[in-house]
Amino acid sequence: MAELAVEDGELVLHLSGLEKAEGVHGDLHVPLSAVRSIEVLDDVLEMTHVNTGFKVGMRVPGRATVAAVRRAGHKMFIAVHHDTPRGVRVLLEGDSYDEWIVGATDPETVVASLNLRS
């Protein structure tokens, strides 16, 4: 399962080996200065139901999405599975992605553990 962590002045999205294969992507890194906000999402599976735009990665509707998605000039990376129906949205500025959406069993704890203002 994807995990967010603060390491050496960066926010890092660690992907499992399977997620790296599904998303055709390695771990993601951004400087903390690029993080605009972090928020808890209650229904990430519904929110990541993306029917339009360009996707690179894996999507099984209602089950999982691990992909980079570009829609109307907005680029996001999504790592969500059916066993993590809630999650975290990280809004970014000055990075190649505008946001990351990451599934989490306890998103409130994830946000608190990052010790960043949301």
Q: Kindly list the domain boundaries of the chain, sorted by start residue.
A: 3-114
Longest alpha-carbon distance in the chain: 36
6-48 tens-digit pLDDT: 999 999 999 999 999 999 999 999 999 999 999 999 988 776 6
- Give the pLDDT band (50/70/90) at residue 49: low
78-115 tens-digit pLDDT: 999 988 889 999 999 999 999 999 999 999 999 999 98
Q: pTM for this structure?
A: 0.90
Residues 6+ apart with CB under 8 A from 32: 6, 9, 10, 11, 116
Following DSSP, what letter does each residue of 42-56 receive, concatenated? S-HHHHT---SSEEE
